[in-house]
């Protein structure tokens, strides 16, 4: 079981020993069954290997069933199984969703009409327009910054019933960062409480596209883990990429403006970014999807955006603001309301929110709940 736990997190014996705070020789003896850790050492080992403590007492490793369809591909080839960090993040989202579904059912909530309204055969223009209609937003013409647009789209999605969760770490553990190279987001379709999750380890300028990609999944009634990679041949991903692009920069108008823009590529991208009030990343991604630039140009732009974000120490910020983003503001307000009404123990509310029970009132104040 120790060997299984180590393989599960992708560590060799020396790395696992370092994570558990013991010498490699001692870890090797544990793994080979020559000696056993003490109870306390076993607890620390379980924590280091991100494994439930009770698993060490099983006779054989449990079968881990995928929690969501894996839609990620690289070069058209499916990627490896999700990491422990990704699997735990999906599990946390499903747990929050399950609680919220029960809450809504008690309130007598009706199914959301837009969930699964379209199919993958639907035209992207039609799906994108319906998302605009439901969210109450028009095609943007550069009146606001893309950061403001991103925030307003999240607020609009939450108003209509979508739980938008955003984080770059597992739970509150800043040492367990989510790898943007592994995934950019996922969607969990549900008629009452659909969830979209955005990996905040990604460059901020790329998250706008991911948000729309995952919302498209909800409109198509499709769940799955996405890397939103160009060239992904999965039917669901092709459809959602097309809807996201059409929402953010309608193809007909985009192509016209691209053709009439400045000769210098950077100037042209900047001009269209301002015109549609999206990021430079969204513009270059749209140009790639429409065949106006090649993959190398796109990759260089994206790498520069991500490098700049990571070099600036991307992440951090207020704990309470991050907690609101991680949980979805809609979900957090419901949990807080139930706790303050006495229908939910503060201890249970804290567990759902990932906040100390004694800090829930402070969190509520920051959230305006």
* Element spanning 38, H or E: none
The 10s digit of each residue's pLDDT in 86-129 is 888 998 999 999 999 999 999 999 999 999 999 999 999 999 99
**Is the domain of 38 the same as that of 95?**
no
Question: Per 3-state DSSP, what percentage of the chain is helix, strand, and coil (rounded to 5)?
Answer: 55, 10, 35
**Is the domain of 170 the same as that of 266?**
yes
What pLDDT score was predicted for residue 308? 77
301, 302, 305, 310 alpha-carbon torsion, rounded to 10°: -140
How many whole angstroms separate alpha carbon 319 and alpha carbon 366? 10
**Is the domain of 78 the same as that of 220?**
yes
DSSP per-residue codes, 49-90? TT--GGGGG-SSPPP---SS-B--EETTEE--PPPHHHHHHH
3-state secondary structure 124-137: HHHHHHHHHHHHCC
Q: What is the pTM of this model?
A: 0.80
**Is the domain of 265 the same as that of 283?**
yes
Q: Is residue 62 part of a domain?
A: no
Q: Is residue 294 part of a domain?
A: yes
Say which residues have a Cβ less than 8 Å from residue 277's Cβ, sequence separation at least 6. 140, 141, 142, 143, 144, 145, 146, 148, 149
Give the total number of structural domains in the chain. Answer: 3
**Is the domain of 37 the same as that of 184?**
no
Contact between 307 and 300 under an 8 Å Cβ cutoff? The reply is: no
Q: In the predicted model, what is the mean pLDDT of the chain?
A: 86
How many whole angstroms separate alpha carbon 199 and alpha carbon 189? 18
The 10s digit of each residue's pLDDT in 157-196 is 999 999 999 999 988 888 889 988 888 999 999 999 999 9
What pLDDT score was predicted for residue 190? 96
Strands 163-167 and 195-199: parallel
Asked if pLDDT for residue 215 goes beyond 90, the answer is: yes
What pLDDT score was predicted for residue 99? 95
Look at 284 and 68; give whichever has higher pLDDT: 284
Q: How confident is the model at residue 310 (pLDDT cuts 50, 70, 90)?
A: confident
**Is the domain of 300 the same as that of 358?**
no
Full residue range of the structural domain in which residue 327 is found: 319-367
Contact between 229 and 73 under an 8 Å Cβ cutoff? The reply is: yes
**Is the domain of 202 the same as that of 337?**
no
């Amino acid at each position: 079981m120790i060997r299984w736990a180590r393989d599960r997190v992708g560590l060799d014996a020396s790395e696992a020993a370092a994570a558990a705070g013991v010498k490699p020789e001692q870890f090797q003896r544990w793994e080979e069954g020559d000696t056993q850790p003490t109870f306390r050492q076993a607890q620390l080992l379980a924590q280091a290997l991100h494994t439930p403590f009770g698993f060490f007492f099983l006779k054989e490793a449990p079968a881990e069933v995928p929690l969501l369809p894996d839609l990620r591909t690289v070069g058209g080839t499916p990627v490896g199984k999700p990491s422990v960090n990704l699997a735990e993040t999906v599990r946390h989202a499903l747990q929050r969703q399950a609680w919220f579904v029960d809450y809504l059912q008690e309130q007598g909530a009706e199914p959301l009409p837009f969930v699964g309204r379209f199919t993958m055969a639907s035209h992207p223009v039609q799906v994108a327009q319906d998302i605009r209609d439901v969210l109450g937003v028009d095609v943007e013409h550069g009146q606001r910054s893309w950061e403001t647009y991103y925030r307003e789209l999240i607020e609009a999605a939450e108003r209509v019933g979508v739980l938008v969760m955003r984080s770059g770490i597992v739970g509150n553990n800043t040492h367990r960062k989510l790898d943007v190279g592994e995934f950019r987001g996922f969607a969990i379709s549900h008629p009452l409480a659909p969830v979209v999750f955005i990996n905040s380890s990604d460059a901020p300028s790329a998250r706008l596209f991911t948000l729309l990609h995952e919302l498209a999944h909800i409109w198509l009634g499709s769940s799955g883990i996405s890397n939103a990679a160009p060239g992904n041949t999965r039917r669901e991903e092709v459809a959602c990429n097309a809807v996201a692009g059409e929402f953010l920069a309608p193809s007909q108008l985009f192509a016209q403006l691209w053709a009439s823009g400045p000769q210098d590529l950077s100037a042209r991208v900047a001009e269209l970014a301002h015109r549609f009030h999206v990021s430079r990343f969204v513009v270059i991604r749209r140009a790639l999807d429409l065949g106006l630039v090649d993959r190398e140009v796109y990759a260089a732009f994206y790498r520069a955006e991500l490098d700049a974000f990571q070099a600036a120490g991307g992440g951090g910020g207020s704990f309470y603001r991050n907690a609101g983003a991680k949980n979805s503001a809609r979900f957090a307000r419901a949990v807080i309301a139930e706790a303050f009404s006495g229908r939910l123990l503060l201890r249970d509310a804290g567990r759902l929110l990932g906040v100390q029970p004694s800090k829930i009132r402070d969190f509520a104040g920051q959230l305006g709940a």
